Amino acid sequence: MLSTIQIKSYAKINWTLDVLFKREDGYHELRTIYQTVSLHDTLTIAETHGPIETVCDDPRVPCDETNLAFKAAQSLREATGTSRGARIEIEKRTPVAAGMGGGSSNAAATLLALVKVWQVGIDDRELFRIAAALGSDVPFFLIGGTALGVGRGEQVHPIEQVHCQHLLLVNPGFAVSTRDAYERLSRLTSSEAASIIPFALLAAKGIRELPLAARNDLEAPVLAAHPEIAEVKRRLLSLGARLAQMSGSGATVFGVFDNLKTAERSETEMRAAGYWAERARTVDRQEYHATIFQ
């Protein structure tokens, strides 16, 4: 019998994102602290006798061979030598090209699901290698929770989990290209190492203070090019967010709130102002793996 599986594809934010320098391979050397959050897409992955196909309910997502879930399935097929096919249905809830790792998460979820659906044996090292070749953020979604990303972000290390119940994710409705965000930063910082990782800060304040010690080197150059994102930050802070910061290369901004009431009120206000806004909370590594398969 051909099997079908449903998998949650969680989104991420970056508590910190420090860019150290531009490398010879064109990528930027990073230190970032990734965090999975409760917002998620849902993937339904069915084994078929045909080719690999992807379908998505959001017309902004390409369903051809450029789709990262498609590429993930293709790579796993090549690596394992299986001749099985798959139909990958993506129910999109995470904003696209928004700094929340939507495509990368879909790719990692596809790998995790297809290992089960196709019943192929592959060791973790190989799975991480495939994930890293798909994109810098993809390996993180194989582990989830709170994790440190080094290199171009693809080398991930689990760290103590950060819990935050009242997040508000706000997107101004346009996409930001990750490549453009990094190029803007390179022009600003030239050859200087941009900054030092905030571990001293973390050591002083403790991991629990991370939501307040947050920082993102891509924010200033992206905000300079897109004042609409600065406006989202300003509004979140005036609505009572303890912190409002751009996630990844933007344009999504996350707000950290003290309680449900202010988070809910802000969600209502931001939606009334025409923004996409969605409350969320952190998903730690244990919950990530316990809930990913529905």
Backbone phi, psi, residue 141, to 5°? -75, -5
The sign of the dihedral angle between the CA atoms of 59, 65, 66, 68 is positive
DSSP state of 35: E
H or E, element range at 43: strand 28-48
Interface with ligand C5P, residue 97, by CB under 6 A: no
Binding ligand C5P by CB under 6 A: which of 7, 13, 30, 263? 30
Interface with ligand C5P, residue 216, by CB under 6 A: no
Closest CA to 144 of 126, 156, 132: 156
- Residues 6 or more apart whose CB falls under 8 angstroms from that of 17 comprise 30, 32, 215, 216, 217, 218, 248
Interface with ligand C5P, residue 129, by CB under 6 A: no
Q: How far is the CB of 252 from ligand C5P (least distance, A)?
A: 16
Closest CA to 239 of 209, 208, 277: 277
- CA contacts within 13 A on the Cβ side of 6: 6
The window from 133-141, 160-168, 219-227, 253-261 that contacts ligand C5P (CB under 6 A) reads: 133-141
Interface with ligand C5P, residue 40, by CB under 6 A: no
Interface with ligand C5P, residue 27, by CB under 6 A: yes
The window from 24-32, 112-120, 257-265, 284-292 that contacts ligand C5P (CB under 6 A) reads: 24-32
- Please check whether residue 51 is in contact with residue 87, taking contact to mean a CB–CB distance below 8 angstroms: no
Binding ligand C5P by CB under 6 A: which of 11, 14, 16, 28? 28
Site string for ligand C5P, 143-182 (x = CB under 6 A): ---------xx------------------------xx--x
Site for ligand C5P, rule CB under 6 A: 27-28, 30, 135-137, 152-153, 178-179, 182
